[in-house]
A and B are shown apart, each in its own frame.
Chain A
Amino acid sequence: MHINPPPKRTTHCYLCAAPLHHKITWRKLLTPTREPAICEKCHQKFEPVAPEQQKYKDVTALYHYNEPMKDFLHQYKFLKDVVLSEVFREEIHQHLKDEQTIIVPIPMHPEKQKERTFAHIDELLNAAGIPFTHLLEKISPITQSSKTKTEREQSDQLFRLKVHEAIKPTHYILVDDIVTTGTTLQHAKSLLIEAGAEKVTALTLIQG
């Protein structure tokens, strides 16, 4: 696993380039905290998903897919602005820090990963300081977002287990960027359950 060097202190908002005013507090001095990478104004544009708004059972989504979030995801995944992995590091950290579980990112096809130059889910977790284990492999390089809804729902198993990885009867948390139809997470979940996992839940940044 690759460990990123500690992120440098950002002085300007990653999204709107407004100067950031870091306040010095005792808590910050004495405990390791993650400084915000974006300004308060940009942060407020993202709309958190309330517990009663969660669309899928066992899937916790952090934010709605509103316009600012669409722009964020575009800049992160398609314009490949890797530093944006730091934008939600605090939220992701808070959700996963105390879990006595195994964190499993949804993988990319190696071909696709070369093309994009980085694994966007891994980077989100790295920035949040959450250790993770890759247990799955993507079989086909075709992306879910390029398929129609029925094609997605009817597709064959998208993943296979990595060789030499034993699945224990314990709790696993899958991590993905966005949940749209839930098919991707369902495929990954059923694979882990079949292999002997006791419980599989998921965390996604966005609910589409």
Chain B
Amino acid sequence: MRFKLNKSKIAHKLFSPNNFINAQLRDFLIGRLWLREHTPFQQKTIEQHIQMGLIQIIPGVQPISTSKKLFSKNNWRCNRCRNEDPEFFASFNCAKCEQICVYCRHCINMGRVSSCTELIKWIGPPRKIQLPYEPKVNLSHLFQWNGTFTPQQKRASEELVDSVKKNQSHLVHAVCGAGKTEILFPAIAECLMQNKRVCVATPRTDVVLELAPRIQKVFPNTFVQALYGGATVEHRYSPLIIATTHQLYRFEEAFDVVIVDEADAFPYTFDETLQQAVQKAKKPDSPILFVTATPSDELKDKVKKLKGGYSFIPRRYHTHPLPVPRFDTLFNYQKQIAKGKIPRKLLEWTTTRLKNDEPFLIFFPTIELMEKAVPLFQKLHLKIEAVHAEDSNRKEKVLALRKKSVPGLLTTTILERGITIPKVQVAVVGAESGIFTSSALIQIGGRVGRSADHPTGDLVFFHHGITLEMDDARKEIIRLNNMEVLS
């Protein structure tokens, strides 16, 4: 009853002669939670839509009451990133409103949200889909893909489409190199056909940059918007968004389906607000489809609780087994590198790679240790380079390795996923370090033997003592290799 009243009120306002909806504004804002002062539209237009009740204003930061009255403190919540940790709030003497304002430091890179800034959200009628022929199915999205699936891939992709049809969550557990992205294509096509708005979210910008062009190619008639820090945001509606999980802070109740790729990657598993961001960005009843090579037990439990579907691909697309890591001791490697010496076994391993002209990756537990090692390795070959998370030339260096203009790279865990280099050989230095969890080690191992032409390669974990995580990684790889598969 109440709902009807509201609707007629809006309708009444819409039909009054002076007012009409700015379609571009609606298409841009729908599902978004945007800083009012940063919109590409005129403030006058926005003001009119607020007057008409089509746009809602939400305070950027608002006080929240704590349950314990006796010790109640001033706590705050950021309405964009939903952060409530007092450590991330700061107050200042605001010159604009001439009082003390509070702002959120957690999402400050997306433009500051403070208690005196306003977020805007579209609450007017949704876009109309004009399809005279068939009201339920949208055939305007062309799905152009001619690849072939292995039987395992085919089954997983069918199961995934089935979950989309049933509107239920799903977990795709597929080993590194199983061809996960391709499995998503039919599910995305199904969503678009049903006029569902889809988001493919991933914790890593590198993965967005890699995925977006591939997906755009498969759906040539659909506007695919890639969103990451520094991306150009087009001012129109996109039914298919490829975004970093961070960018989902800027959405609310937007998506009918969210696909979380690399669902176990840092920082998604680590930062609770990112997981909340996914929840907030989707509509309340929308399913989440998780895709990963190394699902945590929590993730498995979560999907089970949601009564979601599950697909499992234990074999790579080229059907060869996963490379099994070998363990080798490298005692006191830290001391030796600090003294300016590459430990003997690591030196021999590297010179063999250089002699055989095989591209290689050497993973280090910390940036500090890696930076000490770089000059030592450059004595072996001048062109050996190092990459880490803050390296702005990361993409170029990985490309150089692929093109063989660089013989090998030293890296932190940043290159543990998402990269494919034919014939690459991998060593982990200090595999016992805390940062190398079993899932990190499995991902690192997943870099080896990805191409059908070179399905094998050396994978060595140099260590100062074997950890449970190392054992778990090795056992899991062997378990996967021993599994029976469809043929």
A and B found bound together: yes
A residues contacting B by CB (< 8 A) are 2, 4, 11-12, 75, 79-83, 113-119, 123
With A12-B87, A82-B103: A2-B93 Cβ-Cβ less than 8 Å: yes
With A79-B112, A81-B105, A83-B105: A119-B87 Cβ-Cβ less than 8 Å: no
Q: Which residues of A contact B15 (CB under 8 A)?
A: none
Complex contact A117–B108 (CB within 8 A): no
B residues contacting A by CB (< 8 A) are 87, 90, 92-96, 101, 103, 105, 108-109, 111-112, 114, 116
Complex contact B92–A118 (CB within 8 A): yes
Complex contact B96–A114 (CB within 8 A): yes
Q: Which residues of A contact B112 (CB under 8 A)?
A: 79-81
Q: Which residues of A contact B101 (CB under 8 A)?
A: 117
Complex contact B87–A118 (CB within 8 A): no
Query: Please, how many angstroms separate the alpha-carbon atoms of A169 and B466 in the complex?
Result: 74
Complex contact B111–A116 (CB within 8 A): no
Complex contact A11–B90 (CB within 8 A): no
Contact of A75 among B96, B108, B116 (CB under 8 A): B108
Query: 3 shortest A-B CB distances, which residue pairs?
Result: A82-B92, A83-B90, A80-B112
A75-B108, A81-B112, A117-B94 known; 11 new pairs, CB 8 Å cut-off, are A11-B87, A79-B109, A80-B108, A81-B90, A82-B92, A117-B92, A117-B96, A118-B93, A118-B94, A118-B95, A119-B95
Q: Which residues of A contact B108 (CB under 8 A)?
A: 75, 79-81
User: Which chain A residue shows the least CB distance to B105?
Assistant: A81
Query: Please, how many angstroms separate the alpha-carbon atoms of A119 and B114 in the complex?
Result: 16
Q: Which residues of B contact A82 (CB under 8 A)?
A: 90, 92, 103
Q: 12 A-B Cβ contacts within 8 A? A: A12-B87, A79-B108, A79-B112, A80-B103, A80-B108, A81-B90, A82-B103, A114-B95, A115-B96, A116-B95, A117-B114, A118-B95
Query: Please, how many angstroms separate the alpha-carbon atoms of A80 and B111 in the complex?
Result: 8
- Smallest Cβ distance from A109 to chain B, in angstroms? 12
Contact of B111 among A79, A83, A123 (CB under 8 A): A79
Complex contact A117–B95 (CB within 8 A): yes
Query: Please, how many angstroms separate the alpha-carbon atoms of A86 and B101 in the complex?
Result: 17
Query: Please, how many angstroms separate the alpha-carbon atoms of A81 and B91 in the complex?
Result: 10
User: Which chain B residue shows the least CB distance to A123?
Assistant: B92
Query: Please, how many angstroms separate the alpha-carbon atoms of A4 and B101 in the complex?
Result: 13
- Smallest Cβ distance from A67 to chain B, in angstroms? 9
User: Which chain B residue shows the least CB distance to A81?
Assistant: B108
User: Which chain B residue shows the least CB distance to A86?
Assistant: B90
User: Which chain A residue shows the least CB distance to B392?
Assistant: A67
- Smallest Cβ distance from B58 to chain A, in angstroms? 19
- Smallest Cβ distance from B17 to chain A, in angstroms? 37
- Smallest Cβ distance from B12 to chain A, in angstroms? 38
Query: Please, how many angstroms separate the alpha-carbon atoms of A2 and B93 in the complex?
Result: 9
Contact of A113 among B95, B103, B116 (CB under 8 A): B95
Q: Which residues of A contact B92 (CB under 8 A)?
A: 82-83, 117-118, 123
Query: Please, how many angstroms separate the alpha-carbon atoms of A129 and B95 in the complex?
Result: 20
Q: Which residues of B contact A2 (CB under 8 A)?
A: 93
Query: Please, how many angstroms separate the alpha-carbon atoms of A81 and B105 in the complex?
Result: 7
User: Which chain A residue shows the least CB distance to B90?
Assistant: A83
Q: Which residues of B contact A75 (CB under 8 A)?
A: 108
Query: Please, how many angstroms separate the alpha-carbon atoms of A82 and B87 in the complex?
Result: 14
Q: Which residues of B contact A79 (CB under 8 A)?
A: 108-109, 111-112
Query: Please, how many angstroms separate the alpha-carbon atoms of A79 and B108 in the complex?
Result: 7
- Smallest Cβ distance from A113 to chain B, in angstroms? 5
User: Which chain B residue shows the least CB distance to A8?
Assistant: B90
- Smallest Cβ distance from A46 to chain B, in angstroms? 15
User: Which chain B residue shows the least CB distance to A119?
Assistant: B95
Q: Which residues of A contact B103 (CB under 8 A)?
A: 80, 82
User: Which chain B residue shows the least CB distance to A75?
Assistant: B108
User: Which chain A residue shows the least CB distance to B390?
Assistant: A16
